[in-house]
Amino acid sequence: MKKKVVSVLLAVLFCASIFTFAGCSSSGSGKDTIKIGFIGPLSGDAAIYGTSAKAGADLAVKEINAAGGINGKNIELIAYDSKGDQTEAINAYNRLRDQDQVVAVIGGVLSGETLAMKDIMVQDNMPVLSPTATAVDVTANAPNIFRACFLDDYQGVAAANFSTSNLSAKTAAVMICKGNPYSEGVSAAFEGAFTANGGTIADEESYSASDKDYSAQLTKIKELNPDVVFVPDYVQIVGPILQKAKEMGITAKFVGADGWDGVQTEYADAAQGNYFTNHYAADSPSETVQNFIKAYKAANSNKDPNSFAALGYDAVHTMAEAIKSAGSTDSKAIITALNNTNYTGVTGTLKFDSEGNPKDKEVTIIKIDGGQLKFETTIVNK
């Protein structure tokens, strides 16, 4: 009988790996930088959001360092890939805290990964500012967690208000991505507000994130012919839906949420004349916005920034401001400073309520016209 365990091998491997890691950490970069962590999906299905947010964050870091850093120290942004996976995100966070000893974290980009890390982050009292995690629970009972974006239900209500008042819609169809909390959350808020405003939800269709074929659902919507079709999802899902709808000859107006940002470039035709709620308008006369767009394009081979990039950018600036005003890298001081934030960035003015959510942030309504995003109006929910 040869036995139960392989302990030595185990030990050797464990120890070897531990010392390798320990080695890595000591060889970290210089001491007089302020390290800020970033966690988001840089590979996998959700990579586009993570990479956009990171590009925005990188730009902000560059600007801050060019302007002399924070109290004389440069910021170093250490970004790890979560692959959109909970375990990966937790490991990445642990590594940021223990190996890299960051003072604050920008992230996660997705709601799911942020929720997974939430408990540990709260335990550590780590200052966290998520640029884009919109799920309600992210900041609940977490005094150290903040976010730069407005919440799912907030923009859903804004979209409904816009549809009934500005588009005079009486009937609406909603397409929901089952299994995507973002899509489900925004839709639910939309449906509630739309009905409250006196409208009727004529049809509710759902699909799952891995679907590529929406013809069955759109065939049904075409039969019902509602005034608006609300599709709160991301570009790479919305684009094909709009294209298919156009191909099938559906004439109803489509309305969406901030996930639509970017739809104007590649789906200009299909998206023509439709609306969505967003964090900022690229054609806003605001100097901050225009400077941001110019700098972003210069840094990212002339690509237009989307709202993920803008929020990533704002998140880093907000965090930097907080660290600056805290005057130290102590987490309690940074959190206190974050609570007193009043920063005006690309996506508007950021102030946090007691939960750590943005207070009274205005929702920008964008119209897609001729491949451009045109500022339509702003809505502040009451």
- Residues from 121 through 150 that contact another protein (CB under 8 A): 135, 137
Going from the C-alpha of 79 to that of each of 89, 93, 132, 134, 290, the distances in angstroms are: 11, 10, 16, 20, 26
Using rule CB under 8 A, residue 220 touches another protein: yes
Please name which of 362, 359, 364 lies closest in space to residue 342, comparing C-alpha atoms: 359
Using rule CB under 8 A, residue 340 touches another protein: no
| Alpha helix stretches (DSSP H) within the chain | 7-26, 47-66, 86-98, 111-124, 152-161, 181-196, 215-224, 235-248, 263-266, 268-271, 287-299, 307-326, 331-339
Residue placing its CB nearer to another protein in the complex, 146 or 207: 207
Q: Encode 268-310 in three state secondary structure.
A: HHHHCCCEEEECCCCCCCCHHHHHHHHHHHHHCCCCCCCHHHH
Q: Which stretch, 40-48, 56-64, 309-317, 333-341, contacts another protein (CB under 8 A)?
A: 40-48
Using rule CB under 8 A, residue 213 touches another protein: yes
Using rule CB under 8 A, residue 224 touches another protein: no
Using rule CB under 8 A, residue 294 touches another protein: no
One residue of 39, 51, 132, 323 binding another protein per CB under 8 A: 51
Give yes or no for a contact between 134 and 347, defined as CB atoms under 8 angstroms apart: no
Residue placing its CB nearer to another protein in the complex, 224 or 380: 224
> CB of 227: closest distance to another protein in angstroms?
21
Using rule CB under 8 A, residue 26 touches another protein: no
> CB of 235: closest distance to another protein in angstroms?
8
H/E element holding 343? strand 343-345
Using rule CB under 8 A, residue 6 touches another protein: yes
Residue placing its CB nearer to another protein in the complex, 69 or 240: 240
Which residues, in sequence order, are CB contacts of 284 under 8 Å at separation 6+?
Answer: 290, 364, 375
**Start-to-end Cα distance in the chain:** 74
Which residues, in sequence order, are CB contacts of 350 under 8 Å at separation 6+?
Answer: 148, 314, 318, 341, 342, 343, 344, 358, 361
Using rule CB under 8 A, residue 98 touches another protein: yes
> CB of 242: closest distance to another protein in angstroms?
9
> CB of 132: closest distance to another protein in angstroms?
16
Residue placing its CB nearer to another protein in the complex, 207 or 313: 207
* Count of positions on this chain that bind another protein (CB under 8 A): 78
Give yes or no for a contact between 303 and 297, defined as CB atoms under 8 angstroms apart: yes
The neighbour count for residue 230, using CB atoms within 10 Å, is 28
Please name which of 301, 307, 302 lies closest in space to residue 109, comparing C-alpha atoms: 307
Residue placing its CB nearer to another protein in the complex, 213 or 353: 213
Using rule CB under 8 A, residue 63 touches another protein: no
Using rule CB under 8 A, residue 371 touches another protein: no
Residue 276: phi, psi to the nearest 5? -155, 160
Quote the CA–CA distance of 373 and 282 in Å, as a whole number.
7
One residue of 55, 90, 151, 323 binding another protein per CB under 8 A: 90
One residue of 36, 42, 129, 322 binding another protein per CB under 8 A: 42
Quote the CA–CA distance of 69 and 344 in Å, as a whole number.
19
One residue of 11, 196, 298, 380 binding another protein per CB under 8 A: 11
Site track for another protein across 228-257, x = CB under 8 A: -------xx--xx--xx--xxx--------
Q: Which stretch, 44-52, 145-153, 166-174, 353-361, contacts another protein (CB under 8 A)?
A: 44-52
* Residues, the chain: 382
Q: Which stretch, 147-155, 199-207, 329-337, 374-382, contacts another protein (CB under 8 A)?
A: 199-207
Quote the CA–CA distance of 166 and 366 in Å, as a whole number.
12
Q: Which stretch, 43-51, 66-74, 289-297, 341-349, contacts another protein (CB under 8 A)?
A: 43-51
One residue of 76, 184, 304, 369 binding another protein per CB under 8 A: 184
Which residues, in sequence order, are CB contacts of 178 under 8 Å at separation 6+?
Answer: 184, 206, 207, 208
Residue placing its CB nearer to another protein in the complex, 21 or 380: 21
